[in-house]
Amino acid sequence: MNSISRLIDLLADLKFDKDSGAKTVADFKSRPLVCTPYKANHGVVSGWVICVNGSPPKATLLIDQFSSPLIAFHIADKPKKIRGPKQLETIKEFFTDHLKGKEEAFTIPSK
């Protein structure tokens, strides 16, 4: 499983409970990820907003790339800091594979 699939699975786990229908979860996992940087400190990319595409976005993840350790929040009804070591490792892997060194917004197609 690659870092994109692991991140989408993580976001699905954060969003849905065990009673959610398989069709709903499958629709969620089939949507593209929209990756948008935000800048601070004289125009330097400071972090990323990752959304599962939809209107409104189906899930939103905020990654502060200059924090040590990396800080990430799942934005839903109420923002929630992601603390689990395996969850943070998934986010770090996705960041390294797809975001590090980039400065422009882009979309990652669905599975």
Amino acid at 81: K
pLDDT at 111: 64
* Predicted confidence (pLDDT) per residue in 1-49, tens digit: 699 999 999 999 988 887 788 889 999 999 999 999 998 877 888 899 9
* Predicted confidence (pLDDT) per residue in 53-67, tens digit: 998 888 999 998 776
Taking only Cα atoms into account, the Rg of the chain, rounded to an integer number of angstroms, comes to 14
pLDDT at 68: 60
Q: Could you state, in order of their start, the residue ranges of all structural domains in the chain?
A: 3-108
Amino acid at 37: P
Structure tokens that stand for 22 in this block: 């398989």
Burial class (CB in 10 A: 0-12, 13-18, 19+), 40: exposed
Nearest 5 degrees, angle CA 27-CA 51-CA 33? 65
* pTM of the model as a whole: 0.87
